[in-house]
Structure 1
Amino acid sequence: MPQTHKTTTQLIEFKGTTLPVVVVTLRSLQPDTLAEAAKTLFGDDEFFDGDAALLELSHLVDVPEADWRRVKQVLRAHGLNVMGVRGGNEELRQTAAFAGLPTYAASERPPHAAVADAAAAPPATAAPAGRADPEPPPTLAAAPEAAPTLFIDRPLRSGQQVYARGGDLVVLAAVNAGAEVIADGSIHIYAPLRGRALAGASGAPDARIFCTRFYAELVSVAGLYRTFDDGVSRELAGKPVQIRRSEQPGDAGNKLIVELLRTD
């Protein structure tokens, strides 16, 4: 009789993937206050399409006991699925964990961090008697790794999303209404922007958005949003613009500026 071979189905498989995550910086955990602020930003309808969200808690001060269930409901009403938190004090992170929101460590590295290359230093030698030890030769620092830049040269249709993790995003075709472009760094769009653009997604306040023809639905830099439900003003519509956070210290630095970009 012919032998039969039984195949075993692998019930669990692991595959690496990259998922876009929106970092939501909160300055209040009062559900009613958050609901009002979210309604001002996004209206009454769902704005996001089930995007994963990470709550940044480092800007909270003197926080009362958080009602995490209601906080999640407020954001879910606008299409955001809260997956966890980062920052904040230990007590706040513990209450979030009890509510099913784990803590995620910030992924940013110090801007001027360098790794000493021990292999580049010559071996140490003993100094002759009666003489001071010579100063050790300086160690060589590894060259900082250049941040990757993602280039997109095709139009993005409604429902499509592109995320440049860890670097800048350059778009050479139209971002149509309902499409979304996200970058941890800055975003450069050399075409019409009719959808949404979110720069500094990992919290970089110096990120910017540059666009040659501006008709956006929403723009954001490091968590500060501005929507255009009634359309872009005549002064900005169809013109080259840049979007940045205010460079003024204090509360004024929490303002998002949309201004014409001088090209001459």
Structure 2
Amino acid sequence: MARTIKKTPLIEFKGTTLPVVSVTLRTLQTVALAGAAKELFGDEGFFEGDAAVIELDRAEEAESAGPVDWTALRSELRRHGLNVIGVRGGSEALRDSAAHAGLPTFAAFKRAVRGEAPSAPAEETKSVTAARERATETISSVPVAPPPPPTPVNAPTLVIDRPLRSGQQAYARGGDLVVLAAVNAGAEVIADGSIHVYAPLRGRALAGAKGATDARIFTTRFEAELVSIAGVYRTFEGGVPNELAGHPVQVRLVGNDAEGATRLTLDPLATT
């Protein structure tokens, strides 16, 4: 009797969900983007090879500013650790331009509307409906135990108790960052959650690095070069306002403007 040898398929297809960073750009001009990225991340890589999709809905006058150099744009984002795999939203012309550069368009998944599906024959529809009703009655008669409460997940907190010198960087991935010493000019503190600096903050502080708009920045002595929450940032090239310089301050995102965007606010922080 001949044995049947099961052949392993050389190609398999499986559905999967992968983490992808959404990058909203308000301009597609590489020089402007390079300047904004340098203010946010400095000259170092920030992400760790994460896949990214560019959101085009808010790109300001991208078509009237001339053709987009997608190769340069991707290279600029790759310098900071992002691998662009496609685009989403925007005009048809922009999406076509991206497609010619090898960037496909991704769309959000939408369930089909019931009325749009082709109708089944009347007899088949009736039998299916009757079967569903019988199944519903059977399921309803069986007591179902309530699902267990979700297990709380504690986000990690990174604590640093030494000063950060110019050129040094601290990143709290997935949680908050607490710094118990000075963050000197040219240093950078980053957190996916909130940032607490119980000392002078003279460098750059970027909270909500993965998009958490409820993140905040707290410091007992505000002398920062740049602060950012969820990508909304403010620089202090001309110096910190006198009413905030050297005082306890909290930084947060509040409100919505006419375009639905949040704004960054700096408020004195009462410590007594």
Which position in structure 2 is the counterpart of 1:50? 44
**Candidates 62, 66, 69, aligned match of 1:67:** 69
Q: Deviations over 1:194-247 (max 9, x none)?
A: 011000000111111011100001110000111111221211110011111122
Q: Deviations over 1:41-61 (max 9, x none)?
A: 968xx9712324576633625
Which position in structure 1 is the counterpart of 2:155? 147
Equivalent positions of 1:191-206 (< 5 A) are 191-206=199-214
- Quote the offset at 1:67 in angstroms: 2.2
- How many matched pairs? 206
Structure 1 pair 70–160 and aligned structure 2 pair: CA distance change class (3 A): same
**Greater helix content:** 2
Structure 2 residues not aligned, in runs of 5+: 1-20, 90-94, 107-137
Structure 1 pair 166–221 and aligned structure 2 pair: CA distance change class (3 A): same
- Structure 2 CA distance, aligned partners of 1:245 and 1:92? 35
Which position in structure 2 is the counterpart of 1:17? none
Residues 216 and 232 in structure 1, CA contact (< 8 A), matched pair in contact too: yes
Q: Deviations over 1:143-167 (max 9, x none)?
A: 1211111111111111111100001
SS in 2 for 1:151: strand
Structure 1 pair 242–59 and aligned structure 2 pair: CA distance change class (3 A): farther
SS in 2 for 1:51: coil
Equivalent positions of 1:1-264 (< 5 A) are 25-29=24-28, 31=29, 35-36=31-32, 48-52=42-46, 57-58=54-55, 60=57, 66-72=68-74, 75=76, 80-81=79-80, 83-85=82-84, 88-89=87-88, 95=99, 98=102, 133-248=141-256, 250-251=258-259, 253-264=261-272
- Structure 1 CA distance, aligned partners of 2:261 and 2:142? 49
Structure 1 pair 80–239 and aligned structure 2 pair: CA distance change class (3 A): farther
Structure 1 pair 93–168 and aligned structure 2 pair: CA distance change class (3 A): farther
Q: Deviations over 1:30-76 (max 9, x none)?
A: x1xx6457658968xx9712324576633625876742234357x58
Could you tell me which amino acid in structure 1 is paired with residue 184 of structure 2?
Answer: N
- Quote the offset at 1:83 in angstroms: 2.8
Residues 24 and 58 in structure 2, CA contact (< 8 A), matched pair in contact too: no
Looking at CA atoms only, which structure, 1 or 2, has the larger radius of gyration?
Answer: 2
Could you tell me which amino acid in structure 2 is paired with residue 60 of structure 1?
Answer: D
- Structure 1 CA distance, aligned partners of 2:228 and 2:56? 18
Structure 1 pair 84–96 and aligned structure 2 pair: CA distance change class (3 A): farther
Residues 170 and 188 in structure 2, CA contact (< 8 A), matched pair in contact too: yes
* Identical positions, percent: 50
SS in 1 for 2:214: coil
- Structure 1 CA distance, aligned partners of 2:248 and 2:83? 37
- Structure 2 CA distance, aligned partners of 1:144 and 1:92? 45
Structure 1 pair 38–224 and aligned structure 2 pair: CA distance change class (3 A): farther
Give TM-score scaled by structure 2 length.
0.62
Structure 1 pair 92–226 and aligned structure 2 pair: CA distance change class (3 A): farther
Which position in structure 2 is the counterpart of 1:115? none
Could you tell me which amino acid in structure 2 is paired with residue 98 of structure 1?
Answer: G
- Structure 2 CA distance, aligned partners of 1:93 and 1:209? 39
SS in 2 for 1:256: strand
- Structure 1 CA distance, aligned partners of 2:229 and 2:261? 12
